[in-house]
A and B are shown apart, each in its own frame.
Chain A
Amino acid sequence: MITLTDVHKRYRGHHASRWILQGVTLEIPTHESVALIGCNGAGKSTLLRLIGGTDEPNRGTVRRTCRVSWPLGLSGNFQGSLSGRQNTKFVCRIHGTNDAMQDRLEFVKAFSELGEAYEDAVNTYSSGMRARLAFAMSMAFDFDMYLVDELTAVGDAAFKRKSQKAFEDKAGRAGLVMVSHSEATLRTFCRSAIWLHEGTVRCFGTVDEALACYKESIDA
């Protein structure tokens, strides 16, 4: 269960500090798969970072009572000068898994299908390869809740099928909060939806309802 209570967030810039989130209160049950919908700059990634504990709110609280993954995204998460294997080792170590590390390293290599490139520096990777690595790394751990930020958009069709299957295998055990601009992706992965609009959230029981509201707000 993830509980956000009256969360406010702003980033200080050189000129002004605009509030991104203003009083977000929501609960995400552990096994729920939720789509996060909103236009560019609405604060989707910010909300995901707050849920993941990467960042802290200026006001309000975020409580996590289950194992939540880091926000899986294309930007960052990797040390560019190190190889895919070394990056995976780092993540294994900070999650306190020294004993089962070898298995996880091989799992990530196999799942990401990077092959020889697994030993190359991450900054030589294409965005698709980065996405594979990020996704495979998160799958090596048993999180209760996965946070995914625009990750599935870049993989090829085969990898998309594979990642979807991996999530389905974890279904019933793991929840998901996903940011994506691809409606098809959101419909396949998610059951319910959160629409972020002007600093506040509205929750919907189905993705379609949220998308309808979202489109209405754009057309208006």
Chain B
Amino acid sequence: MLSIATSVWKALLLREASTRLMTGRAGWLWLVLEPAAHIVFLMMMFAVVHKRHIAGANVELFVLTGVLGFFLVRNVARRGAEAINANSALFAYRQVKPIDAVLVRGVLEAFLMAVIGVLLLAACAVVGTPIAPHDPLRIAVAAWLLWGLGMGLGLTLSVTGTLVPEIGKVAALAFTPLYFVSAVMFPIGTVAPSLRAYLLANPIVHGLEAIRGGFFANYHSDDRISLTYLFFNTVVIVFAGLVLHARYARRLIAQ
């Protein structure tokens, strides 16, 4: 059984990678350019509009961690949510189950984000930004948990969005407002305390702020930032996604 699953995962991974990287002219280039352009734009905004420093952090790394961390969750969730529709032709082969398509996409996105992250960090180092993290382990754990959160969202949305297409549309829309409340462009420490309590309900905030805390030794965050909170959110949503897949597996492959 496991050898069948691994064969399917390998085949799907290679298939997904080839469509993701080979489509259009220099498809792989756009993968790096999209977040890079986004980060450069935000840095310019910080330089021009804000005209101030972030306490205990440098702006380049602050923006980079925020954008990449959020994109990790968003891309894994979005690509995972679309995985079933995009691969419906392949469910004719009984080895291939809907959950395989979602899991493989999540792994591929994680791999791509890791490559993009290394490239952009290297670019930062080249222009002279100090990139040595103060607590690498905390960064790694937070990144893993953010990936897990995206995976859980992808698993959940892939089922609900396939069975009820309206949910898929609403979820796709929800990522834009989520971007603004996830502390991508501002440190959570600068938010008014009354509002901060609400923003801290969002597990992505905990992941992003933990990554920044791992990079900068003197970063001013909030004491309530907790990887445990992110961990429990991740576990719950992954479990929900797996349950949905187990329950509705048959209906997902019906044509």
Contact = CB atoms under 8 A, between A and B. Distances in A.
Interface in A70-111: 70-71, 73, 75-82, 86, 89-91, 93-96
B94 A54 contact: yes
B181 interface: no
Contact of A81 (B12, B14, B19, B253): B19
B88 interface: yes
A91 B93 contact: yes
Interface in B73-128: 87-96
Interface in A55-80: 55-56, 70-71, 73, 75-80
Given A11-B254, A12-B251, A81-B19, A93 B92 contact: no
A175 interface: no
A80 B23 CA distance: 13
A52 interface: yes
A71 B15 contact: no
Contacts of A12: 251, 254
Interface in B223-255: 250-251, 253-255
B190 interface: no
Nearest to B249: A56
A55 B254 contact: yes
Nearest to B7: A96
Contacts of B8: 93-94
Task: Categorize the interface residue count of chain B.
Answer: 20 to 34
Q: Is the interface of A mostly helix, strand, loop or mixed?
A: loop
Interface string B1-30: 001100110111011001100010000000
A70 B18 contact: no
Contacts of B251: 12
A86 B254 CA distance: 25
Task: Categorize the interface residue count of chain A.
Answer: 20 to 34
A78 B253 CA distance: 15
B44 to A, nearest CB: 36
A77 to B, nearest CB: 5
Contacts of A94: 7-8, 11, 93, 95-96
A75 B88 CA distance: 11
A82 B15 CA distance: 8
Given A70-B94, A77-B92, A81-B23, A96 B3 contact: yes
A20 B250 CA distance: 16
Interface in A120-158: none
Nearest to A87: B15
A16 to B, nearest CB: 15
Contact of B11 (A49, A52, A90): A90
A76 B88 contact: yes
Given A76-B88, A76-B89, A82-B19, A93 B94 contact: no
Nearest to A12: B251
Residue in A11, A75, A79 whose Cβ sees the most chain B Cβ within 10 Å: A79
Given A71-B92, A81-B23, A55 B7 contact: no
A52 B255 CA distance: 14
Contacts of B87: 79
Closest 3 CB pairs of A and B: A93-B11, A53-B94, A76-B89
Interface of B: 3-4, 7-8, 10-12, 14-15, 18-19, 23, 87-96, 250-251, 253-255
5 contacts: A54-B92, A76-B89, A91-B93, A93-B8, A93-B14
Given A52-B92, A70-B92, 12 more contacts: A52-B94, A54-B91, A54-B92, A70-B93, A70-B94, A75-B255, A77-B92, A77-B93, A81-B23, A90-B11, A93-B7, A95-B7
